[in-house]
Structures are given as structure tokens and as C-alpha cells.
Amino acid sequence: MKTNPWAWHDAQELRRIINVSGTMTSLGASVSAPSVRAATSEAMAHFVDMHDLQTEASRVIARLTGAEAGCITASASAGISLAVAGCMTGLAPGRVEALPRDPGPRNSVVVQAGHLCSYGAPVETAIRLTGADVRPVGTATLAADYQLEAALDETVAAAFYVVSHQVVHYGQIPLARFAEIAHAHGVPVIVDAASEYDLTGFLGQGADLVIYSGHKFLGGPTSGIIAGRRDLVRAAYLQNIGIGRGMKVGKEGIAGVMAAMESWMARDAAAIRARERAALDLWLDALQGLAGIRAEIVADPTGNPLDRLQVNVDERAAGASAARFAAGLARLDPAVIVRDIEVELGYFQLDPCNLLPGQAETVAQSLAAVLADGPALAQIDEADPRNGAVAGYLNWLA
Ligand SMILES: *Cc1c(COP(=O)(O)O)cnc(C)c1O
């Protein structure tokens, strides 16, 4: 007998969702392998010395990334706050307890203006939670070496660098150069690589601390990973007696992300790639010959080994805009949630990285049905990704 893949949703009357948008916090980030779920569940049955568990995690992180050390945090966003705080306080517990009231003599963080993005909340907020001041370098679309050099005075605790599709992709100082300049001024470099598959390259380019999300491509429980210099990792970890308390990660999160890291190191990357490619080809096929629709396979903008299907919509010929088609797909049961972050440019994308068995076919059928009849969507409100994220919170329980 075939089991109902939606039994969990149905029992709680939750909306059935097929996620082809990527790794989205608002959709529950990722799904975990059985080994990860087992590790999480097993940890819930035991007491454990949390420092011992974090020591084991540090070993796994070191193996995964090549870093000297690492620790697990509640999320990448928490990791940003703790890493910055660690660079401000070092290993002085009195300084840790003084944050955020008294940020101390090293109380500012430099960031290229084009890197001040939002991942659901502004990255600037995660930095400022420490009490540090954020010092933008350059302008949104242009930062030069001399501007970074001018910003690096004796008050700077860290130079912060974001790798993401959400930052400006031209006119920025490349990481290796950024690190060279910061190090020449004795300033450590923190890289936010929350959503990047490359677990060794940023340290190789000079990062002192790198932050990853545990629940994105790694498929762990909600968590973050800090990897890098042992002294700075220790200082970040020490923040658990201060601002880190409310960002605490539990034993189940640590155990789960350790299992996720192990499973990542053992994965068959070529088979995953081939499976994703097969889904893209299936969808490409389903969209052949539809008026006003032109689909193409596009590479990930930050070089992750991940392609997506971009569906370009000629509104006149197709009878609806890309935003309206995205909204139409989200109206289905199960809802097909596409990647609509650039929808005002006339396209949406389909990300195959979070597909569960059987879902690629459902998506193909949904695409063929919805995109064949734009005028049928005339009554649907277009999703507005700019305001949509905030509206979701505002409308909750309203
Ligand atoms: C997702 C993301 C974060 C936040 O990660 P969480 O683990 O969800 O807190 C931070 N920075 C970037 C660039 C991200 O993409």
C-alpha cells in the first residue's frame, strides 16, 4: 500500500507545500535525512556535558572545513552575532558580560555597503545586537581598497564579508584582497557564507571565521556553524554567558547537525546533480510550446553546484505576469512555491534542491496546467516578494 506523503500535514490541517523555491526559512528551511532525524531524536533521551558535545562538534567541523576549530550556534544569524562579539571581547568574561551595554574599545565592524543585505532580517541587525557600530565601506555598487583601508582604524573589531546571491555582485572588493587589507591592519575577517556549499574555500582565501547555516543545504536541524581560528572560535563560544544565552542551541541541534555534516561528507554529489538535472529537463519539456513562456537552465549566481530553471514570461503573449503565475502555482493543492525573488524582472525560477520523491512530476503537471492559461489567473493578486515576507508576520493571527 502506498503511504500518504501528506499524512503529517493532513493530520494538522497544514497546507501541503512543494518547495521549488530553494532553502527558505519561511518554508521550514530543509528536510533532514533519516540519520539526522535519528541523531536528533536520540540526543533528546540523554543528559550530556554540553562542552563535551561541542568539542565533538568542533572535531567534525574541523574535518569538514579544514578549520582549526568550530562550534555550533542556534542559527547562522546567531553565529554572526557571536562571531562579531568574540572579535570584540576576546576571552575576557567581563567584557563578554558588558555587551551590548558597553561595547569596549573595539566597537565597530566594517562591511562593504553592497554587502548590507537582508536574509529575512538585515545582516546589520545581527551585527548591531552586540553593541557594535556598523561602518559601511564605499557605496552600494562600488567599494575600493583605499576606502576599506581608511575605515580600518584602532576601533575596528572585525571586517565582515557576505557571500550570497543577495549582495551586489559587481564593484565589490574580492574576499582574498579584502582579507589581505584587513590583516595588514591586524583586523580579523568574518565571512557570512550561510548558504554556500563551499566549506573550505573562504578559509583558504583568508577568512578567520566562516559562518554556515546548518539547516540549509546541509539539511540539519535549525542551527549555525562557526569555523575558523581556534582563539576566535573560543571567544565566540564564550558569548554563551552573555548575549548568546537567548540564541542557545540545544543538544538535539548539535547532535543533528553533526550527523548532517557526516552525511554531507559521504554524499554522492554526482548522483544528486543528475537527479536535479532530470527534474529541470522534465520541467523544461513540460513548458515547451506555451505561448509567451521561455524557459532556460541557469547557473547559481554565487557558483554553488546547483542549476535552476528560469521561466521567462512575456506578459502580453502569456496572458499573465511572472508574479501572477507564481501566485497561481502557490494557490494549488499541493501549493507549488517557486523562487520569486526577482519576479519584477519578468521571470521566476524553479529550484530542484529540495524536491522530495515524486514531486518533480507533480510540479511538471502544475506548470503545464497553470502556465497554459494566463487569463484564468486574472482575479488572483500578484504576489509581491518585497512586502510579502513582512505581510506574513503581520497577518499572522490577525
Ligand atoms: C540564510 C542566511 C543567513 C541566516 O541564516 P540562518 O541560519 O537562517 O540564521 C545569513 N546570511 C545569509 C547570507 C543567508 O543566506
Residue 36 CA to residue 41 CA, distance in Å, equals 9
Residue 1: inside a domain, yes or no? no
Regarding whether 249 and 314 lie in a shared domain, the answer is: no
337: β partners: 19
Read off the pLDDT of residues 166-195 as tens digits, 9 standing for 90 and up.
999 999 999 999 999 999 999 999 999 999
DSSP 8-state class, residue 12: T
Read off the pLDDT of residues 362-381 as tens digits, 9 standing for 90 and up.
999 999 999 999 999 999 87
CB of 222 sitting under 6 A from ligand 1: no
CB of 119 sitting under 6 A from ligand 1: yes
Up-side HSE of residue 175: CA atoms within 13 Å toward CB? 21
DSSP 8-state class, residue 174: P
CB of 190 sitting under 6 A from ligand 1: no
How far is the centre of ligand 1, averaged over its atoms, from the C-alpha of 285 (Å)?
Answer: 33
- Rounded to 10 degrees, the C-alpha dihedral 21/27/32/34 comes to -110
Read off the pLDDT of residues 99-108 as tens digits, 9 standing for 90 and up.
999 999 999 9
Regarding whether 138 and 38 lie in a shared domain, the answer is: yes
- State the residue range of the domain holding 240: 34-266
- Ligand 1 test: best mutation among 23, 26, 119, 248, most atoms within 8 Å of CB? 119
Q: What is the mean pLDDT of residues 342-360?
A: 96
Residue 345 CA to residue 336 CA, distance in Å, equals 20
- Domain harbouring 195, CATH code: 3.40.640.10
Nearest CA to ligand 1 atom 5: 76
CB of 77 sitting under 6 A from ligand 1: yes
Regarding whether 88 and 74 lie in a shared domain, the answer is: yes
CB of 164 sitting under 6 A from ligand 1: yes
- Report the mean per-residue pLDDT for the chain: 96
Q: Which residues contact 216 (CB under 8 A, 6 or more apart)?
A: 23, 29, 30, 76, 194, 195
CB of 302 sitting under 6 A from ligand 1: no
pTM, whole model, 2 decimals?
A: 0.96
Regarding whether 226 and 122 lie in a shared domain, the answer is: yes
Q: Residue 12 burial (CB < 10 Å; 0-12/13-18/19+)?
A: exposed
How far is the centre of ligand 1, averaged over its atoms, from the C-alpha of 373 (Å)?
Answer: 36
- Give the Cβ contact number of residue 33 at 10 Å: 17
335: β partners: 17
Picking from 126, 112, 230, 229, the residue whose alpha carbon sits closest to that of residue 178 is: 112
pLDDT for 385: 67
How far is the centre of ligand 1, averaged over its atoms, from the C-alpha of 23 (Å)?
Answer: 10
Nearest CA to ligand 1 atom 6: 76
Residue 2: inside a domain, yes or no? no
Give the atom of ligand 1 at the shortest distance from the alpha carbon of 223: 7
Regarding whether 227 and 316 lie in a shared domain, the answer is: no
Picking from 59, 76, 79, the residue whose alpha carbon sits closest to that of residue 68 is: 59
Read off the pLDDT of residues 299-315 as tens digits, 9 standing for 90 and up.
999 999 999 999 999 99
- Ligand 1 test: best mutation among 129, 163, 192, most atoms within 8 Å of CB? 192
As a whole number of Å, the end-to-end CA separation of the chain is: 41
Regarding whether 110 and 45 lie in a shared domain, the answer is: yes
Q: Which of 266, 283, 298 is the last residue of a domain?
A: 266
pLDDT for 372: 97
For β-strands 133-137 and 156-162, DSSP reports them as: unpaired
Q: Which of 239, 266, 293 is the last residue of a domain?
A: 266
How far is the centre of ligand 1, averaged over its atoms, from the C-alpha of 335 (Å)?
Answer: 24
Per-residue b/e over 44-62, b at no fewer than 16 CB within 10 Å?
A: eeeeeeeeebbeebbebbb
Read off the pLDDT of residues 122-178 as tens digits, 9 standing for 90 and up.
999 999 999 999 999 999 999 999 999 999 999 999 999 999 999 999 999 999 999
What residue type is assigned to position 166 of the chain? Q
Q: Which of 251, 266, 281 is the last residue of a domain?
A: 266
Regarding whether 109 and 221 lie in a shared domain, the answer is: yes
CB of 194 sitting under 6 A from ligand 1: yes
Regarding whether 273 and 136 lie in a shared domain, the answer is: no
Regarding whether 68 and 201 lie in a shared domain, the answer is: yes
How far is the centre of ligand 1, averaged over its atoms, from the C-alpha of 119 (Å)?
Answer: 6
